Structure 1
Amino acid sequence: MSSVATAGPGAGWALLASELSVLFRRLRTWAMLIALAAVPILIAVAVKLSSRPATPGRGPLFLDRITQNGLFVAVTALVVCVPLFLPLTIGVVAGDTIAGEANLGTLRYLLLAPAGRVRLLLVKYAGAVAFCFAATATVAASGALAGVVLFPVGPVTLLSGDTISVGESALRSLLIAAYITVSLLGLSAIGLLISTFTDVPVGAMAATIVLSVVSQVLDNLPQLEWLHPWLFSHHWLGFADLLRQPIAWTSFGENALLQAGYIAVCGALAYAKFSNKDVLS
């Protein structure tokens, strides 16, 4: 049964405000953010208490530089969180977007509001995007704080060999956080799409998380090199260009274009499915 939006633009903003309020008042949301914030703290404490410095080339990227400069804690934590922790939390939020409402029986009331199916999908996706920003910012902020407290902070030497000030290095960290946030937008769209196919949110969450793992596994198989540029996880760790002087924006642009493609395709498929889904019976 199709619904038609008869409310003005103000209804969309009110629905978005309600969605964000519900999302960030949930205990589950705060538990995930606290868990993400704990990752850089644990990394910093482990390095601080270690009796020997990290060996270059072993462990996560930039781990061996933390003791010389605490600003690398945030970058190292983001590298650690990208393959599993961030996709896991994003999968939980994105998979719950539509399926969660259907499971609770509130989806029919949202559509009778009248919100309209397109508007509801956009609002649900906007909520998932907001969580992407919050999750990445939490890791970056926690890492920066732990680094400043536990280690010396000073000018940073980039991959290109150039040295930049503390202020500019903080800006580079924000750019890396933005890059990773953009990287997760495609996964959020996939989660939204899967969420329209089921009324069981746990199933949608699990499927989204599994797909993120599968994509990364495929991206590491040299036999499937032809497929790598099309995988949504292909550019997740491709922010090295942001640590050079001058900044090369090629990888950022390619990543944004890839994620935009996934958003467009998954968004269209989600609407096609959701527009024909009978949730009012």
Structure 2
Amino acid sequence: MSRAEAPGSALDTGTHPGAGGAEVRRTPRPLWSLGLLRNEIGTTFRRWRTLVLLAVLAAVPVLIGIAVKIETSGDGGGSGGGGGGGAAFVSQITNNGLFLVFTALAVTLPVFLPLAVGVVAGDAVAGEAHTGTLRYLLVAPAGRTKLLLVKYATTLTFCLVATLVVAASALVTGALLFPVGEVTLLSGTTVPFGEGLLRALAIAAVVALSLVGVAAIGLFVSTLTNSGIAAMATTVGLLIMVQILDTIPQLHAIQPYLFPHHWLSFADVLRDPVYWDRLQQNLGLQALYALVFGSAAWARFTTRDVTV
């Protein structure tokens, strides 16, 4: 018996004794949606592939922290390496371990986090079609639209969990290897450690929201094929291609419209006052990508002929 047919499962919409007929037909729909969402999230985070992705993400801050510790112990200083936005934070790690959170997010956001999200999003629909469980999910009365929304909500949940895993791993590693205390912001203002933690949490939220566009693109690609591997590879390939386009100077006219262009704007949270312009541009762009590719995914999925 499939997960879609199990009695009492998220898809069980049968009547119950003692309830009026009209009420039974109205009440199952929201319960079904919440039940399916819980089931989908549980299924996603029980997969070995998801657990391995989270383990790799958790290992990145540990490796960065150990590398910085070895380098500063060996030469007595060292500003630390690092590329992209991470370079602005690496030199501060030895003074305050909280900066390892900012460094880890800056390092993982351009590559590791979106790749992980692309794998999960690309497999959301195509993986079900490949294993033959998609047609069983579609027999529920809630329909394809709610099923697609549940898939997208599950992917967004993974975005948040993956980001928090990186931040938590970096916070623990930073506290173990380096001193922690008052935080000196990029603008030169010093704030208490508690406020620094709140800003770190806000940055994690911004990073998670920065992955909304990638999740929508991956979900759309997943509706185009019955092969989970093909969907994941296509999503990752698109991500790499857009990242390359964002580094070519001759394409500066279109780069502000590419979804990864404003990803590192989260650093503006570490200013006093906070610079909101780039943050708003980033979140607005992600919302636009979610709307466009989410609509495309809906149009494709609701008209798709599911035969497997």
Q: Give TM class, smaller chain.
A: over 0.9
Q: 1:226 deviation in Å?
A: 1.1
Structure 2, unaligned runs of 5 or more: 1-12, 14-24
| 2:210 is the alignment partner of 1:155 | no
Q: Which has the higher contact order (CA 8 A, sep 6+)?
A: 1
Match of 1:241 in 2: 268
**Paired AA for residue 143 in structure 2:** G
User: Could you tell me which of 130, 133, 149 is aligned with 1:103?
Assistant: 130
Q: Which runs of 4+ in 1 moved over 6 A?
A: none
Deviation at 1:55, TM superposition (A): 2.8
Measured at CA, do residues 175 and 40 of structure 1 come closer, stay the same or move farther in structure 2, by a change above 3 Å?
same
Partner letter of residue 140 of structure 2?
Answer: A
User: Is 1:47 matched up with 2:71?
Assistant: no
Contact 2:29 2:142 in 1 (8 A): no
Q: Find the aligned partners of 1:121 and 1:11 in 2 and give their Cα distance.
A: 14
Aligned residue type for 2:45: F
- Tell me by how many angstroms 1:196 deviates: 0.2
1:73 aligns with 2:100: yes
Q: Which residue of 1 aligns with 2:7?
A: none
Letter of the structure 2 residue corresponding to residue 186 of structure 1: G
Amino acid at match of 2:193: V
Alignment-mate amino acid for residue 129 of structure 1: L
Give CA deviations for 1:198-222 in whole Å, capped at 9, x if unaligned.
Answer: 0111111111111111112111111
Q: How does 1:83-162 map to 2 (within 5 A)?
A: 83-162=110-189
Aligned to 2:191: 164
Which residue matches 1:21? Answer: 42
Shift of 1:156: 1.3
Q: How far off its partner does 1:280 sit?
A: 4.0
Identity of aligned residues (%): 52
Please give the secondary structure, in 2, of the residue aligned with 1:65. coil
Counterpart selection for 1:216 from 219, 243, 248? 243
Q: Which residue of 1 aligns with 2:51?
A: 30
Structure 1 gap ranges (5+): none
Q: Secondary structure at the match of 2:129?
A: helix
- After superposition, give the CA deviation of every residue in 1:18-68 in whole Å (9 maximum; x if it has no partner): 101101111211111111111001111111122123336764321111111
Offset at residue 113 of structure 1 (A):
2.1
TM-score (structure 2 length as normaliser)? 0.86
SS of 1:97's partner is: helix
* Length-normalised TM-score, structure 1: 0.95
Q: Which has the larger radius of gyration?
A: 2
Say what the alpha-carbon RMSD is for the aligned residues: 1.6
In the alignment, is the contact (CA less than 8 A) between 2:68 and 2:80 conserved in 1? no
Report matched runs for 1:188-267 at 5 Å.
188-267=215-294
The 1-side partners of 2:284 and 2:211 are apart by: 13
Q: Helix, strand or coil for the counterpart of 2:289?
A: helix
Letter of the 2:54 partner, please give it: L
- Corresponding pairs, count: 277
